[in-house]
């Protein structure tokens, strides 16, 4: 995985890049990480761009400008993400809406502090969900490391249906029980699809 670096444009605005700015941070990270680069810190080629701790980076022409811009956006998103507050399932859906068009199932977590500000958004698992693959240890390990007060889980339905499956219900029940043991509240489980979203909390199931 490409390291997340503090990258800043020297007093200039960054232009839009093929709609990538609309992607949530975890998808943008996935997009950037596909490119094999020994160390972005020493291979920046965009004039006016600095990397914290390394001074001005010049003289390299091997990286496409879009990758540099995506990296800048990634750093901006990462540093500003903690300011975003989640108060409803609609806001969760808007945060993760880009996953509604994915052809595989993505299981995600959003960790929050005591004031419901986002600490981090992570992809925990990709593939068909079941109780065996979605293990509470994987779900709550990062939440504990984040010292989170609450956690939101979400996944997409490539089929487009918003109705939770039996496995979805079982996973939610299991994680809800574990959340009580570890003292991190499971605030919601949101199913995302092209037609909208389904919130376990809104339906009174959490």
**pLDDT for 75-104, tens place per residue?**
665 555 556 889 999 999 998 999 999 999
Single residue among 60, 82, 104 that ends a domain in this structure = 82
Q: Check residue 125 and give its pLDDT.
A: 86
The answer to the question of residue 1 being in a domain is no
For 14-33, how does the pLDDT look when each residue is reduced to its tens digit (9 = 90+)? Answer: 344 444 444 555 555 555 55
Same domain (yes/no): 95, 193: yes
Q: Check residue 187 and give its pLDDT.
A: 97
Q: Identify the band that residue 128 occupies on the pLDDT scale cut at 50, 70 and 90.
A: confident
Q: Phi, psi (5° rounding) for residue 144?
A: -65, -45
The mean pLDDT value for 156-180 works out to 93
Single residue among 15, 48, 82 that ends a domain in this structure = 82
User: Which structural domain, as residue segments, surrounds residue 29?
Assistant: 7-82
Reference 120, options 89, 94, 95; nearest CA is 95
Same domain (yes/no): 89, 78: no
Single residue among 31, 64, 82 that ends a domain in this structure = 82
Alpha helix ranges (H) inside the chain: 25-33, 65-80, 89-96, 136-145, 166-182
Q: Check residue 134 and give its pLDDT.
A: 80
The answer to the question of residue 44 being in a domain is yes
Q: Identify the band that residue 146 occupies on the pLDDT scale cut at 50, 70 and 90.
A: very high
Chain mean pLDDT for the chain: 74
- Which are the contacts of 142, defined by CB distance < 8 A and separation ≥ 6? 109, 111, 120, 122
The answer to the question of residue 158 being in a domain is yes
Residue pair 151/186 in contact (Cβ under 8 Å)? The answer is: yes
CATH number at residue 111: 3.40.140.10
Residue pair 78/19 in contact (Cβ under 8 Å)? The answer is: no
Higher pLDDT: 24 or 142? It is 142
């Amino acid at each position: 995985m490409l390291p997340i670096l503090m990258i800043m444009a020297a007093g200039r605005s960054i232009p839009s890049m093929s709609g990538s700015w609309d992607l949530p941070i975890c998808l943008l990270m996935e997009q950037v990480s596909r490119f094999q680069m020994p160390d972005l810190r020493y291979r920046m080629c965009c004039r006016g761009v600095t990397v914290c701790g390394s001074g001005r980076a010049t003289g390299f022409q091997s990286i496409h400008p879009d990758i540099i811009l995506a990296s800048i956006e990634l750093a901006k998103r990462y540093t500003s993400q903690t300011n975003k507050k989640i108060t409803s399932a609609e806001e969760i859906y808007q945060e993760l809406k880009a996953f509604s068009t994915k052809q595989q199932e993505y299981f995600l977590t959003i960790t929050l502090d005591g004031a419901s500000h986002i600490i981090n958004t992570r992809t925990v698992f990709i593939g068909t969900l079941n109780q065996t693959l979605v293990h509470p240890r994987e779900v709550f390990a990062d939440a504990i490391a984040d010292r989170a007060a609450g956690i939101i889980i979400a996944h997409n339905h490539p089929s487009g249906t918003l109705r939770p499956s039996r496995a979805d219900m079982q996973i939610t029940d299991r994680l809800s029980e574990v959340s009580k043991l570890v003292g991190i509240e499971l605030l919601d489980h949101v199913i995302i699809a092209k037609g909208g979203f389904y919130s376990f909390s809104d339906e009174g199931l959490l």
